[in-house]
Each structure stands twice: as C-alpha cells, then as structure tokens.
Amino acid sequence: MLKMGKWAVAIWVMMICNQPVFAQDFRAVAQVNIAESEIKLSAHKAQVSLNISQSVPFRISALDMPPRLVVDFNEVNFTGVARTDIFPQADANDGLRFGAFDRGWSRLILELGTPMTLNSADMKVLENSAGAIIDIQLSASNAEDFANWASESQAKLRGIPKELPRFAPKPRQNGERPLVVVIDAGHGGIDSGAEREGVRESSLVLTFAKELQSLLQQEGGMEVHLTRDRDIFVPLQARVSFARKMNADVFLSIHADALEKGRATGTSIYTLSDEASDAASHQLAQSQDRGDLLAGVDLTGQDDKISELLMEMVRRETTPRTDMLAAAMLDGIRTSLGSMHRRPHLKAGFSVLRAADIPSVLIELGFMSSSDDLAQMLDPGWRDQISFGILLALQSWKADDAEAATLIRK
C-alpha cells in the first residue's frame, strides 16, 4: 500500500510515472469495478473508494468557492458508470462529475459542501490481481486552511491556455462560398450535463451534432466542424476559440437540458443577453457554466478588461446578424416540426455564446425532464426533421445575410 500526505501527492505522481513500482503497464486505461466502488460524503468527512482494474498514476488537488476535491487519473475509463452507481447521495447532491478531461487523463470532481482537509490518499494493489483500490479520506477543516490548500493546488492544475480575443471582425460571408458552420455539442467527458432514464445529455447531443454535420455537408454544401467528436470535456472558452480558429460564419451550440422546478417542453432558440428572459433561462445559463466550474476551469478574467470597448464595437455589428439567424432558425424549425416551445426565442447569459464576432445561437432541442421531449429526441426520425429545419434556416440566413452585407457596403 502506498500512502501520502496532502503535500506529497503531486510529487508521488511524477515518481510513479518514472519508476516501475509495480509490474504493470501504467499506460493502459483502468476500468471501474462499480460494485466495489463508493463515494461517501457528510458534513464532517468524505471518502472516495475506487476499485479499478489496474494501478494508475493519480494526483489530488483542491478548488475553492465552492470547496471541491479534484482527482486526476492517468487514466481511468468511466464509460458506463452512472453517478448513482458509486455515489448513492447523487440525487441529493449533484456535485459529482467524472470522465475524460484531457488527452491521456480523466478527472473526478466532488463538491464537498464544506472546507475539508486531506487525511490520507492510499492505493492498495490487490493480491493475485492487477487490480487496485484507491482510497481517499478527508475530514472537516476551516475555510482558511482549505483556501491555502486550494491555492497551492491551482498551480499544479493543467490550465487551458487563454487565447486573446480577436476583435477585428472576420470578412463577412457574401453568399458565394460555402458557409462555415461550427456545431458545438454541449457538455462532454467529465461534464455529462442532464441525465434522465439512463440517458446523458452529452451523449444525446453528440449523436445529434454528428447527424446534423452529415446533413449540412451532404445536402447544404457547407463546411462543418465539431467542437468535439467524442466524449471529452472541452471548456466553454476553448469552444469559442475553436470557432474562431475555423473562421466560422455561424456557431450553433446544441443542448437538451432538464429543469428541476417547473415544466418546460419543446425546442427553443437562445441568444446572448446579460439579462435572462425568465428565471428558467437564467437557471439554464448557470447550469452550463456550472460544468466548467465543476471541471476546475476558471470562468473569470476570460476577457481582457482593456479590450472590452473594442469587443462591444464588434458585437454591435454581430448582434443584428445573430438576431436574424435566430429568426431564421425559428422559421426553419417551425416549418419542419410544426411546433416549438411556447416562448421559442429566449435570451440568457450563456458563456459559450460570447464570441463578439461570430453570429451564435444555442439550440435547446428539448427538455430531458419531459418524458415526451426525451422520447422525441431519442427518435432518429424526429432528429432528422429538426436537422432539416436547421438546414433550411442556414440556407435562408446565408442569402439574407449576404444581401444585408451588400446594402451596408452601398
């Protein structure tokens, strides 16, 4: 059994990667034994016990506001593991995420609810087996000590490089070349999004994104890129940066959320606004940012304060184009489906829509909290219908946007 104190964890990872402590292949991916794994959490202590198919390097760190335990593995496959499988309290505490995080790494994040201190982190190699048990124990602490631990941990976390915003607007499409569309399948990897009846939002929207990409390329002659093509975590800012890198004319973020309070059904289109259309829209925008928060990505300071005025100048030109795109989406989807959400065009402060220079909308396919909506979204025929509506919308918007650009030049 290997034991380590709080401050030795990161060093231990480097040691185990460089020295063959056990006669095992650390490059392989470990599988989770669900029946023998469990997470326990109370106001006074926490325990993470994972039974995995083989030993893997791992490291422990912390994030504050709210207090979170972060465990990075190189590498554990969480495919097929539901939160309630290993965390019976998941219904009461939604603060658990796990999955692919970066190439060769997976991550588990547990919201602690209160400051805690790391008492021990053990890995026991099972006899007569390649398997191992990772056991992590924490107990109640105070806010100052936890903040210090989190601060030191931050320096060891692999951050996502922040791309400086590009404020000069890209050349506007004129209708003569293929439209460049970036489709963003929401959530992914450690952030599974909403979950209902064994269906994860991240998987559902990825399936739809791939189907939509195929249709737009084959029938629409468009150049289409996906922010992710597999079950992997992509920070919100990185999704926007990818769209800029691809010189996107349009950015479509695809979601299928769930509301715990109230009843919502039908497809809706969201555009960016600092003030949400209603409480439900505000709740959904917060839930999207929550995925990055739980994954340990800092959402603050993404925009250079000195450049805010320049961004606003660019956004003034982009906003009317975005509104026109939203209107085209409403017409196209209504034509294809016949009905939508009772308030089909809503606004909220979605971070993923903050590209100043790219017309961007978020398409809420439906609500997984509605059994009818969930059944529709799982139906390939229904997905074909709404995909066709989006195709019609983009074709219409492309022509109208090019005409509007001609009028501006005159």
Same-domain check for residues 72 and 132:
yes
Number of domains in the chain: 2
Same-domain check for residues 99 and 232:
no
Same-domain check for residues 273 and 393:
yes
* 108 or 307: which leads in pLDDT: 108
Last residue of a domain, one of 119, 154, 189: 154
347 within a domain of the structure (yes/no):
yes
* 224 or 3: which leads in pLDDT: 224
Structure tokens that stand for 356 in this block: 């100043």
- Identify whether the C-beta of residue 190 lies closer than 8 Å to the C-beta of residue 235: no
- Return d(Cα 14, Cα 385) in angstroms, integer: 51
Partners of 102 in the β-ladder: 105
Residue 147 burial class via C-beta count within 10 angstroms: exposed 0-12, middle 13-18, buried 19 and up = middle
Same-domain check for residues 221 and 118:
no
Last residue of a domain, one of 102, 120, 154: 154
Average pLDDT value for residue range 38-52: 94
- Return d(Cα 91, Cα 291) in angstroms, integer: 17
**Between the CA of residue 78 and those of 48, 53, 88, 103, what are the distances in Å?**
15, 12, 16, 15
* 110 or 124: which leads in pLDDT: 110
What is the span of the domain harbouring residue 258?
180-409
Q: What is the pLDDT of residues 347-364, one digit of tens each?
A: 877 777 777 788 999 999
Q: What is the pLDDT of residues 217-271, one digit of tens each?
A: 998 889 999 999 999 988 887 888 888 889 999 999 999 988 765 567 889 999 8
Q: What is the pLDDT of residues 114-164, one digit of tens each?
A: 999 999 988 888 877 778 899 999 999 999 999 989 888 776 554 433 333
Average pLDDT value for residue range 270-280: 67
* 292 or 68: which leads in pLDDT: 68
Taking Cα atoms as reference points, which of 320, 321, 344 lies closest to residue 332? Answer: 344
Least confident of 73-82, 119-128, 278-287, 299-308: 299-308
Same-domain check for residues 228 and 343:
yes
- Prediction pTM value: 0.67
**What DSSP state is assigned to residue 286?**
H
Cα atoms in the Cβ-side hemisphere of radius 13 Å centred on 251: 32
The reply to whether omega before 75 is within 30° of 0 (cis) is yes
Calculate the average pLDDT of the chain: 79
Q: What is the pLDDT of residue 122?
A: 84
Average pLDDT value for residue range 89-98: 72
387 confidence band (pLDDT: 50, 70, 90):
very high
Same-domain check for residues 289 and 188:
yes
314 confidence band (pLDDT: 50, 70, 90):
low
* 155 or 369: which leads in pLDDT: 369
Least confident of 84-88, 239-243, 292-296, 400-404: 292-296
Least confident of 116-120, 187-191, 330-334: 187-191
173 within a domain of the structure (yes/no):
no
CATH number of the domain enclosing 213: 3.40.630.40
Same-domain check for residues 28 and 114:
yes
Same-domain check for residues 277 and 350:
yes
Q: What is the pLDDT of residue 19?
A: 32
Same-domain check for residues 145 and 196:
no
206 confidence band (pLDDT: 50, 70, 90):
very high
